[in-house]
Structure 1
Amino acid sequence: MPCRSCGHKIYPEISPVIVVAITNGDKILLTKFLTGYKKHALLSGYVEIGETLEDTIKREVSEEVGLSVHNIRYYSSQPRAFTHSLLMGLTAELDKDLAINLETDEISKAQWFDLEYD
């Protein structure tokens, strides 16, 4: 956006956020946050400086639920102007072990649910 008085261009700062749907065959991992939003949600987290989206997903999944994933694919994105965020939706598949090791600072629950197709 150019400054009206001097013409200097100012670029807004945007915080990239990943939101990932983790699947294992016909199951999907859903979580519940410790505070705030009380419904089931996908795992999410901010991208750190120097990280790729794939690195962020692997880090967040490992930190929050103690799992590892592969086959990460981009799905869609959505800007959030009020929070200066860009949400990027991706999918990933579980590597192996289904055992969840919950990080309880942010998440109160994580559980595998059956996927239903209509």
Structure 2
Amino acid sequence: MSRARNTGPMQASQRCGAQTRNGEPCRAPALRGKTRCRMHGGAAGSGAPFGNGNAVKHGFFTRDAIEERKFVRTVLIEAENVLRQLPTRPEATCNPRERGTQHIIPGTEPPPPHLTNDSK
């Protein structure tokens, strides 16, 4: 059941010629009106976008975003320096007997009575 196939036009067609991974030229036929085969850029819609759209910078590395991060960094450093210049012991700056008010240092107040086990 073998038939003679008409392979002449396909054998005579222009070849793709793109360099393959093993360094040899591609032997697939080029598409009609193109110089490459469907696997090497001859298909519609293949290839890089016009105007080098791949080189557009996105939001994280734009000049504005970099400047904003630098500004925030300097503000944080300045705030840290201001905090370091403040006195470290608050009891040294305020007198608890002054004006009859009692000053409690944050973090040293006793827990509320409903959270303790002293109800026995």
Shorter-chain TM-score range:
under 0.3
TM-score, length basis structure 1: 0.19
- Larger relative contact order (CA 8 Å, sep ≥ 6): 1
* Greater gyration radius: 2
Q: Tell me which protein shows more helix as a share of its residues.
A: 2
Q: Tell me which protein shows more strand as a share of its residues.
A: 1
TM-score, length basis structure 2: 0.19
